[in-house]
């Protein structure tokens, strides 16, 4: 700025000292956004894996409940003993027990969950009346199958009355 000698006022003839700001984001603003997104991702990802594990265990339990109900109905309709065997890796087989032999009529997998049971050999046998019992036994027995994936667990309960539940 220059001062006029005659009137004592100032005039501006030089270029302005500040450059006008352009539209856009600064590098610092972008880094702050990236850090915030990283923190949110660190919080959400572990929670999502827990939800996925629980959904997987629940799905396997629900699928086994359907298989058990189907086997129970098959035993009642055909008036034969029907055995359901579930392996530790979640694979299963359903077989008719006619004449001491088992004819496999259905098999499959219940997903990537570990399975345990309080039935001996993880096998349950339905009588022609629909009662659950330990394989090879005629005495009705309640029991359960437990599916585990990580820390998530889900159960299928066979009540003494033959009711199949997923609590």
Q: Per DSSP, what are the bridge partners of residue 157?
A: 144, 165
Alpha-carbon distance 62 to 52, whole Å? Answer: 15
The chain-wide mean pLDDT, for the chain, equals: 86
Q: How many CA atoms lie within 13 A of 73 on its CB side?
A: 7
Which tokens in the block code for residue 127? Answer: 């009588």
Domain ranges (residues) in the chain? 47-165
Residue 47 has pLDDT above 90, yes or no: no
CATH for the stretch 47-165: 3.55.40.10
| Helix-, strand-, coil-residue percentages of the chain, each rounded to 5 | 35, 35, 35
Q: What is the pLDDT of residues 58-77, one digit of tens each?
A: 999 999 999 999 999 999 99
Residue 164 has pLDDT above 90, yes or no: yes
Pairing state between β 164-165 and 91-98: unpaired
Tell me the pLDDT band of 98, cut-offs 50, 70 and 90.
confident
Task: Please name the residues in contact with 151: beta carbons below 8 A apart, sequence gap of 6 or more.
Answer: 50, 53
């Amino acid at each position: 700025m220059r001062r006029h000698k005659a009137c004592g006022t100032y005039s501006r003839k030089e270029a302005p000292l500040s450059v006008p700001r352009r539209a856009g984001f600064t590098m610092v603003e972008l880094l702050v956004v990236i850090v915030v997104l990283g923190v949110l991702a660190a919080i959400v990802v572990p929670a999502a894996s827990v939800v996925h594990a629980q959904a997987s265990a629940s799905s396997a339990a629900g699928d086994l409940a359907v298989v058990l109900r189907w086997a129970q109905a098959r035993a009642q309709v055909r008036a034969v003993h029907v055995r359901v065997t579930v392996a530790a890796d979640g694979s299963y087989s359903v077989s008719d027990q006619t004449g001491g032999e088992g004819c496999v009529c259905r098999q499959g997998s219940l997903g990537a969950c570990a399975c345990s049971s309080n039935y001996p050999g993880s096998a349950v046998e339905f009588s022609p009346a629909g009662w659950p019992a330990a394989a090879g036994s005629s005495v009705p027995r309640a029991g359960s199958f437990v599916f585990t994936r990580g820390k998530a667990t889900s159960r299928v309960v066979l009540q003494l009355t033959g009711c199949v539940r997923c609590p």
